[in-house]
Structure 1
């Protein structure tokens, strides 16, 4: 018994276009040109430099300093037994006004009873309360947005990720805790910053 050979249908073979066909390449080239035109037509967003900056110096900074305090900075201050306002004044040699946003208060309240001391500290009348108009209580985004809009703040934090984000914004000093005392980074010496 012999095998029956199936003959390929001629019309089915004819319908398939080879991938090397010139018509397909032409279509691909037209699509690439269209994409390039769209990319050229897009307006690239370049952030405008703040009018507060004069080269590396931020002209809006000056005593009394307004310092936005992060949750972990408060907790580390308690662990190192540092009075926040007094230690800030020792670091900057000027009057300091610690500022707390609603997001930071919300974050501390979410952390529970372990951080009740921190909540008592921030309810001190020396701390200035900054209202937040945005949704959510993620403090890092709130601080970064506020500092980008107004360059008159110093940010006090011990969080590495937040420090990394703030270093990308020119003219914003960062306060942190080192060797059981406060230290400041990126603060011009003309404004009375201590020499390290």
Structure 2
């Protein structure tokens, strides 16, 4: 067979339907009006904004410089139970740890949690109902004490959290400037506390 001698005409475009044609739907018309490469550039040029949480000016690295005596200590359920187990007086132990006046605070959620534990924990309930303890009313939904403490600490950075619960400690460590008190070697110790107030080093 011989070669096809017909030559392709130079610079011939394919026949295209005009954008004004009635056969094209409105959505397709919008797509055709803006080329793909222009659309990509527009998407890339849109600035990505990230919201970074603002931290208090009182924070110096991981320390909260605004904390000072008298210290307000948020007490967790297991902290009270472990204190009884290790025969440590709550008020005296806190004062020995911080060398200053301490005001233990009990939220409604923690109080409810100890009340629900039953007769075994009547001693803990008696200790908590002492007049030297501050009662903090809870306004949030739910009765889970850990969530209550974390929420209160994120809103107000004036508290020290006293707990022996690992999960709660892990959650509170994510909140900057909140010291954690716990029991180690038969006495109270504290982490993330400014050295200026004579806190023992762990």
Aligned equivalents of 1:168 and 1:102: distance in 2?
24
Aligned equivalents of 2:69 and 2:117: distance in 1?
33
Q: Give the alignment of 1:1-196 within 5 angstroms.
A: 37=43, 44-196=50-202
Aligned equivalents of 1:124 and 1:118: distance in 2?
10
1:45, CA displacement in angstroms? Answer: 3.2
Would you say how many aligned residue pairs link Structure 1 and Structure 2? Answer: 163
Counterpart of 1:17?
none
8 A contact 2:71–2:100 mirrored in 1: yes
8 A contact 1:108–1:115 mirrored in 2: yes
TM-score by length of 1: 0.77
Aligned equivalents of 1:116 and 1:172: distance in 2?
30
1:102, CA displacement in angstroms? Answer: 0.4
Aligned equivalents of 2:50 and 2:119: distance in 1?
48
CA RMSD of aligned residues (A): 2.1
8 A contact 2:182–2:190 mirrored in 1: yes
**What SS does the corresponding residue of 1:124 show, helix, strand or coil?**
coil
1 or 2, which has the higher helix percentage? 1
Any stretches of 5+ residues in structure 1 without a counterpart? 1-29
Any stretches of 5+ residues in structure 2 without a counterpart? 1-35
